[in-house]
Structure 1
Amino acid sequence: MRLLKLSIPFLSLLIACNNNQPSKDTSTDSLNSASISSKKFALAYRDGDNIVVSSIDTMKQVSFGGATDPAISPDGTKLAYTISDSAGNRNIWVADLEHKTQAQLPVDNHNHYQAMWSPSGNKIAFSIFDKGNRWKVGVINTDHSGYQILESKSAIELYSPTWKNEQQLIGHDLTNLYTLDLSGKIIDTQLLTELIGKDLSLSSSNRFFYTKDGKKLIFNAGNTDIVKNSVGPNEAIYVLDLASKKTSRISPEGLNVPSLYVTADDQIFYSASKTSDSVFKIYTADLNGNIKLLVEKGMSPTGASK
């Protein structure tokens, strides 16, 4: 298999850009060792066909094309992303933003994507289509050792994996929410209708995140909101208090939120639009529902820890 590589080498493809910040003066910044080491990147997202990596105030930005699924590491020094080729293969690469290098993860599989960093940044989990034609969770250390597929012998499919903590992951199959340890053993199974009720709908792309204290679940799901020109159910962000079983809505009514990411220190990042054909904007929020607009045009955000 010949992987379709970036059309321009990584070092020359990274460019200065900050056209998407809400209301700040622009500034340019070339990608060199001095500029990278003097600041921490904190946000990564898609802008059309480009991936943008920026500081949290978007004053410092670099971007490159030819990739999807941007996932910035918790310390803001690395970026994982998906490269697809004309044959439909998908593979994960990792770029070191400080040393300006990139490498493909050594995963013996031609359909894996959507990297998710562990809280320490020492491991990466991802969705992988196994030889049994089932979606599973792949895990690999960031030094490229320890690659494995969790629950590889089970008939259960696992969608949209996230990290519960450094030693456990969660994923769902539209019916149950599963917790797995790093040996691949399922250590907890919870019926989703008992967790979130029957009024919310799920797709395989919806993600669940535990809060740092393990007492709440943050997730996006479909609802019955009516959004102009929307195709399919509108989606919103919810927080479930596991003790009280109370679910609260974070994102405002009238917005469709198909993409959600929560950092290990409970920062919420999401992209949302008012209508299905409008521009998606990127927001950040906290557990109390305080929301801030970050980027006027962008999708699929991920963030670094503070």
Structure 2
Amino acid sequence: MTKISTTILSILISSVALIASCSNNKSEGENAKAVLDTVSLSNKNFALAYQDGDKIVATSIDTMKQISFGGAVNPAISPDGNKLAYTLSDSAGNRSIWVADMENKSQGKLQVNSNNYYQAMWSADGSAIAFNIFNSKHLWKIGVIKTDNSGYAMLDSASNINIYAPTWKNEKEIVGHDLARLYTFDLTGKLIDTKLISDLIGKEFSIASSNRFFYTKDGTKLIFNAGNADVLDGLTGPSEAVYILDLANKKVRRISPKGMNVPYVFLTADDRIFYSGTEKPFTHSKIYVSDLDGNIKTVVDKGNNPTGALK
């Protein structure tokens, strides 16, 4: 069982099996079911969701409870802590996003005309989800849909560029990148702004498709993770860290400590930075939370890919 930091007592409520469809003739996830536990979860909002090996875990700090889901990846907890979005895969390699309501024990698949969409990202008010989607031109784009399955749109659908790692700048704008440029779209798909990433953060960083850029609530700073030139003995591949860019003075400050590799970062709508990282020998990932001033606490001593709800 995952051990939460000393301020949290971890009690596992139950494990939930997510059974993905193995049929290649049906859309993946069509036959998938998640049987939530029979314990009432009313008024027990969860505060954090993360990956722990082959399962995802949602944790409520206030109630000191946990619930886990086997066979799912890409956990994304809703801002109110009541819902969990996750990715399911089938035997053909198709991926889709499902949303579980942890209070009334319902679940449903986001109805998108694609066999490959994943990595949900909730809007701050919890009314919509952005995600990456593979389109008919074999390009990665940003999809956005309301949680009642209305209002689906694929942003920038006509261009011939890949757009990765969507995040919400605010309730009406979504950010993504193509490894070299940072794009801002409105919810109709109109391109509002384009910036060279190297002009923003400098040329000493390397950007991968999994790296994300988050605007702070007031829009004055960017939180991101990126590859750097650190040489970490025992680490296979480039080192990554979490940084904060002040857009006014263009100064970049490191948040995660030296000697740590951080492949994943998430910013809540109330400006708390969650990230997962490993230290030498780089085999054990922990989850941390930091404020914008760099005050860091360990949250979970075994896990990765965290997302947080609002306080």
Asked if 1:279 corresponds to 2:284, the answer is: yes
Aligned with residue 146 of structure 2, among 141, 146, 153: 141
Asked if 1:74 corresponds to 2:79, the answer is: yes
Asked if 1:100 corresponds to 2:105, the answer is: yes
Counterpart-to-counterpart distance in 1, 2:10 and 2:152 = 42
Q: Is the 8 A contact 2:172 2:187 kept in 1?
A: yes
In structure 2, the gaps of 5 or more residues are: 15-36
Counterpart-to-counterpart distance in 2, 1:135 and 1:232 = 24
Q: Is the 8 A contact 1:140 1:146 kept in 2?
A: yes
User: Displacement, 1:29?
Assistant: 4.1
Give 3-state SS (helix, strand or coil) of 2:79's partner: coil
Counterpart-to-counterpart distance in 2, 1:74 and 1:276 = 34
Q: Is the 8 A contact 2:11 2:66 kept in 1?
A: no
Change (3 A) 1:55 1:154: same
Count of aligned positions:
288
Which stretch of structure 1 is more off in the superposition, 21-30 or 207-216?
A: 21-30
Q: Residue in 1 aligned with 2:251?
A: 246
Root mean square deviation of aligned Cα? 1.5
User: Displacement, 1:58?
Assistant: 8.4
User: Displacement, 1:224?
Assistant: 1.1
Q: Residue in 2 aligned with 1:19?
A: 2
Q: Is the 8 A contact 1:57 1:294 kept in 2?
A: no
Change (3 A) 1:155 1:25: closer
In structure 1, the gaps of 5 or more residues are: 1-17
Q: Residue in 2 aligned with 1:225?
A: 230
Q: Residue in 2 aligned with 1:90?
A: 95
User: Displacement, 1:57?
Assistant: 6.7
Q: Is the 8 A contact 1:114 1:127 kept in 2?
A: yes
User: Displacement, 1:40?
Assistant: 1.6
Counterpart-to-counterpart distance in 2, 1:269 and 1:57 = 18
- TM normalised by structure 1 equals 0.91
Counterpart-to-counterpart distance in 1, 2:175 and 2:269 = 14
Q: Residue in 2 aligned with 1:193?
A: 198
Q: Is the 8 A contact 1:70 1:79 kept in 2?
A: yes
Give 3-state SS (helix, strand or coil) of 1:194's partner: helix
Asked if 1:202 corresponds to 2:207, the answer is: yes
Q: Residue in 1 aligned with 2:295?
A: 290
Q: Residue in 1 aligned with 2:171?
A: 166
Counterpart-to-counterpart distance in 2, 1:254 and 1:209 = 23
Q: Is the 8 A contact 1:33 1:99 kept in 2?
A: no
Counterpart-to-counterpart distance in 2, 1:98 and 1:19 = 22
Give 3-state SS (helix, strand or coil) of 2:199's partner: helix
User: Displacement, 1:233?
Assistant: 1.3
Which stretch of structure 1 is more off in the superposition, 97-106 or 228-237?
A: 228-237
Letter in 1 for 2:4: Q
Asked if 1:212 corresponds to 2:195, the answer is: no
Counterpart-to-counterpart distance in 1, 2:63 and 2:264 = 19
Q: In the TM superposition, what whole-angstrom CA distance separates every residue of 1:236-276 from its partner, at most 9, and x where no partner exists?
A: 00000000101111000000000111011101111000146
User: Displacement, 1:170?
Assistant: 0.3
Q: In the TM superposition, what whole-angstrom CA distance separates every residue of 1:175-194 from its partner, at most 9, and x where no partner exists?
A: 10000001101110001110
Q: Residue in 2 aligned with 1:303?
A: 308
Change (3 A) 1:248 1:57: farther
Counterpart-to-counterpart distance in 2, 1:33 and 1:278 = 35
Taking only the aligned residue pairs, the percentage that are identical comes to 60
Q: Is the 8 A contact 2:2 2:300 kept in 1?
A: no
Aligned with residue 160 of structure 2, among 155, 159, 183: 155
Q: Residue in 2 aligned with 1:10?
A: none
